[in-house]
Structure 1
Amino acid sequence: MNNIADYHSSSDEEEPSPPRPLKRKLSSDLNQTKKMPKLPSFFDSSNKPESTDSTGKKRTVPHTTNSWATYVYFQVDFTDEKERLASYCERLEPIPEQHISVSRTVYLRQHQLESFVSSIRTAVQRTKPFDISFAQTACLTNDENTRSFLTLEIGNGYNQLFDCMKEVDKVMQEYKQPTFYDPPRFHTSIGWALEKDTVTSIEIPQPCLTPITSRTFYLSRLYIKQGHHIHHIDLQ
């Protein structure tokens, strides 16, 4: 693998799903007990912070009621080019959609969700669309050291991503949430493994990387994911 490096980065595949809004059921019998819909299993107080799911992934953030996993990112699509790498990444769990985070994953209360989106929209209102390209591969590990990722790091477009990140950081500070990593290493993840050695042992020939690293991607839409809900902001 080219330019393998360590880096602690939040995994965006560990966000808990948000609770569905509870609907009131009207009844003519005032004494009838109202049955509330069952919440997803991760809201069960018996769940442990480091429980393991069917894929062997550890959940290191305790699931709590009214806690919505939120992060801000750009999407990129290089499906055709990624197929060239498939034979070298067979030991990795694939990541279906590629994105570039400009925030950590934070946890907001329901009453904060709408205003947070509005604050991000205001913060990036002067950000213009820009081009990016990828420069090299890297092995990055999440904060909890539970998973390692094969990633492509940003080359061209780094400064524009940095400026956007700083605007998002200001909103995070307003909501008393952690800001992005310092120094930031913007990237997109291709696949992941539980063992770091699995990722670092992968060697991708340069001719297979060239179709991706030589391509330019145009970023004109910023996304905010809150649980399973996704908002987008078109850059002007």
Structure 2
Amino acid sequence: MACGESGALNLVAAYESSSDSERDSGYTSEDDKKRKSHDDTSTQINSKKRRLELEDDSMEEAMMVDIPEYNKFQSLSLRENHNHNVGSFASSCKNNHVKTSSPSTSQLPVYSGKLIIPLPKELAGEGPSHVDDASKHQGRVRSFPHDVGNWASIVYLPLNEDTSSGVGITSYETLQALVTEAVSICQRQSLCLTPSTDFHISLSRTLLLRIHLIHPLAHDVRASLANTHRFHVFLNKFAVYVNEDKTRTFLGLKVLHGQSQLANVVAKLDRIFQTYNLPTFYEDCDLHASVAWVRGDQRAALELLLPSLESHFHDYFNYDDHLRSFHAKYIHLKAGNRVNCIQLGPYAS
């Protein structure tokens, strides 16, 4: 009997010292195994949930607004139930006379119970105002104030190498030589003109376009001029012009041939501009190409030189047509630095 009891005791001791897996394999029922597996899974889920909560807490702390009393409030609310009340917090700050160098939370916008951080001045459009440097624009002065989002725009007929006529010596090269000589003559008479670098005939006033209007306006102009035939333009006779604010005086060449066709284009453009509430062209519609300019209102001084200029360039205005004519085969809608080229129809047969 003693031997039997000793053997039984040894067997129990061996069982107590064995691992869980060894006991389960030989002595645990199926229900006990399922219960143990469920308990292990619950433990893992609770551990993972706790880890995610800790990560959320650290992330919320990293994203706190740099306002001392607000951070204090956020820390307390995060540890309670992650749901704070900005209004009660602002009133408590007021009652406790909290002072801070940062803006008061009661002055910041609140949306759906959450404090909204204001945008920086650079993004909110409250940065430093634009300052023009006339030295970078040949001494020209802006005729209207700079406004972010407004694009200075104009429609014109370009007079360049591509639209010039002639073989060997083109009308564009002839025009360049004429302008250079005219500026030299005026300079000898103590009137310093600046030659234009972009010869063209303006077909509109200077327009202020919002960026979202540029594409639809160009589309409408293109559709309106699709049936307008190409034609030729001849320049003839000097004239003097002053801009509306009298900041610049221009030496121009009047349009001789092609005046009626250009006036028809201007009329079509004006109808489109009216639909966009934009200013139409000048009533007198004196179409010309500005070839040189001088600062200020110098009309009287420049008009005194016109007889001398006319006499000196008498031969130019009697050249063959191909040396003083240009092809009107497309026009440009220029908005800022963007140029939309709008083709005209083929020449009339």
Higher strand share: 1
User: Quick one: which of 309, 320, 326 aligns to 1:204?
Assistant: 309
**What amino acid sits opposite 1:135 in the alignment?**
N
What is the CA–CA distance in structure 1 between the aligned matches of 2:314 and 2:153, rounded to whole Å?
31
Contact kept, 8 Å, 1:192 with 1:199, in 2: the verdict is no
Say if 2:177 is the partner of 1:83.
Answer: yes
Q: Flag as ranges the 4+ runs of structure 1 deviating above 4 A.
A: none
What is the CA–CA distance in structure 2 between the aligned matches of 1:103 and 1:176, rounded to whole Å?
14
Q: How large is the RMSD of aligned CA atoms in angstroms?
A: 2.8
What is the CA–CA distance in structure 2 between the aligned matches of 1:121 and 1:44, rounded to whole Å?
38
Contact kept, 8 Å, 2:226 with 2:343, in 1: the verdict is no
Contact kept, 8 Å, 2:238 with 2:310, in 1: the verdict is no
Q: Percent identity?
A: 26
**What amino acid sits opposite 1:61 in the alignment?**
F
Q: Where in structure 2 are there 5+ consecutive unaligned residues?
A: 1-62, 65-118, 161-171
Q: Which digits, 9 at most, give the CA deviation of each residue in 1:15-57, with x for residues without a partner?
A: xxxxxxxxxxxxxxx99x99x79x9xxx95264xxx6712443
TM-score w.r.t. length of structure 2: 0.52
What is the CA–CA distance in structure 2 between the aligned matches of 1:201 and 1:177, rounded to whole Å?
36
What is the CA–CA distance in structure 1 between the aligned matches of 2:332 and 2:130, rounded to whole Å?
33
Residue of structure 2 equivalent to 1:4: none
Larger Rg, first or second structure (1 or 2): 2
Tell me, what secondary structure is at the counterpart of 1:133? strand
What is the CA–CA distance in structure 1 between the aligned matches of 2:256 and 2:186, rounded to whole Å?
22
TM-score w.r.t. length of structure 1: 0.75
Compared CA separation, residues 104 and 220, structure 1 to 2 (3 A): same
Say if 2:157 is the partner of 1:74.
Answer: yes
Tell me, what secondary structure is at the counterpart of 1:181? coil
Shift of 1:155: 1.1
Contact kept, 8 Å, 2:234 with 2:255, in 1: the verdict is yes
Shift of 1:59: 1.6
Residue of structure 1 equivalent to 2:86: none
Higher helix share: 2
**What amino acid sits opposite 1:138 in the alignment?**
A
Say if 2:197 is the partner of 1:96.
Answer: yes
Contact kept, 8 Å, 2:237 with 2:317, in 1: the verdict is no
Q: Where in structure 1 are there 5+ consecutive unaligned residues?
A: 1-29
**What amino acid sits opposite 1:53 in the alignment?**
A
User: Quick one: which of 211, 215, 224 aligns to 2:333?
Assistant: 224
Q: Which digits, 9 at most, give the CA deviation of each residue in 1:116-163, with x for residues without a partner?
A: 100110111111100111121110000101110000011111000000
Compared CA separation, residues 218 and 199, structure 1 to 2 (3 A): same
What is the CA–CA distance in structure 1 between the aligned matches of 2:254 and 2:159, rounded to whole Å?
13
Number of matched residues? 200
Contact kept, 8 Å, 1:92 with 1:199, in 2: the verdict is no
